[in-house]
């Protein structure tokens, strides 16, 4: 019987690139920026994940899918949730943000540090992912998930979600 060699970190990252976010299936969990680290000991892999926010309802599904993807390659996997540092949309690559736009979700802009209760004028309009117009308005601070807001474009009349900068 030939002993199986441990996977390389590159092998594990490649497998995780195939795991889609259940709420935004155009992105992998790696592209979303929630996979923080991996550790490999023999055929056991520990994946550290930081949720987009602490109450994210997709986390259990993401954990199940990560474990399943690695198990399908003969690996024993464990997911550990790490809350610090807190996830930020700045961890998403420009490629991931462009995938959001192409999918019809306005990508987040860069984050800025602000007080808990912003005492400033309204945020700049979100560009429409369909026509590019800035003639948009917020219809609801929360879309299908808490990390997205519901917008409408006054130019092309399309409703769309905006992935909030966190």
| Domain containing residue 70: CATH number | 3.30.300.130
Q: Give pLDDT, residue 166.
A: 80
pLDDT of residue 143: 85
Do 16 and 69 share a domain, yes or no?
yes
Predicted pLDDT of residue 112: 65
**76, pLDDT greater than 90:** yes
Does residue 90 lie within any of the structural domains? Answer: no
- Look at residue 84 and tell me whether its pLDDT is greater than 60: yes
Average pLDDT over residues 4-30: 93
User: Is there a domain that residue 96 lies in?
Assistant: no
Cα gap 126→111, rounded to integer Å: 14
Task: List the single range of 75-84, 115-124, 155-164 with lowest mean pLDDT.
Answer: 115-124
Which pLDDT score is estimated for 1?
41
Query: pLDDT tens digit string along 25-72?
Result: 999 999 999 999 999 998 899 999 999 988 888 999 999 999 999 999
- Residue 68, classified by CB atoms within 10 Å of its CB into exposed (0-12), middle (13-18) or buried (19+), is exposed
Provide DSSP, 117-159: S--SSPPPPPPPTTT--S-EEEEES--SSTTEEEEEETTT--E
CA nearest neighbour of 106 among 73, 143, 155, 60: 143
Calculate the average pLDDT of the chain.
89
Please indicate, yes or no, whether residues 47 and 110 belong to a single structural domain of this protein: no
The number of folded domains in the chain is 2
Residue 159 has pLDDT above 80, yes or no: yes
Provide the domain limits for residue 47. Answer: 9-81
Q: Do residues 17 and 28 touch, judged by C-beta distance below 8 A?
A: yes
Please state, as a whole number, how many other Cβ atoms lie within 10 Å of the Cβ of residue 64.
12
* CA distances for 61 relative to 22, 55, 56, 154, angstroms: 7, 13, 10, 36
Planar angle of CA 66, 87, 162, nearest 5 degrees: 95
Residue 94 lies inside a defined structural domain of this protein = no
How far apart (Å, rounded) are the C-alpha atoms in residues 115 and 157?
33
Closest CA to 29 of 69, 1, 73: 69
Question: Is this prediction's pTM over 0.75?
Answer: yes
């Amino acid at each position: 019987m030939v002993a199986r060699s441990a996977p390389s970190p590159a092998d594990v990252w490649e497998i995780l690139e195939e795991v889609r976010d259940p709420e935004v299936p155009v992105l992998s969990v790696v592209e979303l920026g929630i996979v923080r680290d991996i550790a490999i000991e023999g055929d056991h892999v520990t994946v550290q994940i930081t949720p987009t926010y602490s109450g994210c309802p997709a986390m259990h599904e993401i954990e199940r899918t990560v474990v399943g993807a690695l198990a399908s390659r003969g690996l024993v996997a464990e997911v550990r949730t790490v809350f610090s540092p807190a996830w930020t949309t700045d961890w998403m690559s420009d490629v991931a943000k462009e995938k959001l736009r192409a999918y019809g979700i306005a990508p987040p802009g860069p984050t800025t540090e602000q007080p808990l209760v912003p005492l400033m004028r309204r945020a700049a309009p979100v560009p429409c992912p369909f026509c590019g117009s800035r003639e948009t308005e917020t219809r609801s601070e929360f879309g299908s998930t808490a990390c997205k807001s519901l917008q409408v474009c006054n130019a092309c009349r399309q409703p769309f979600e905006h992935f909030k900068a966190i």
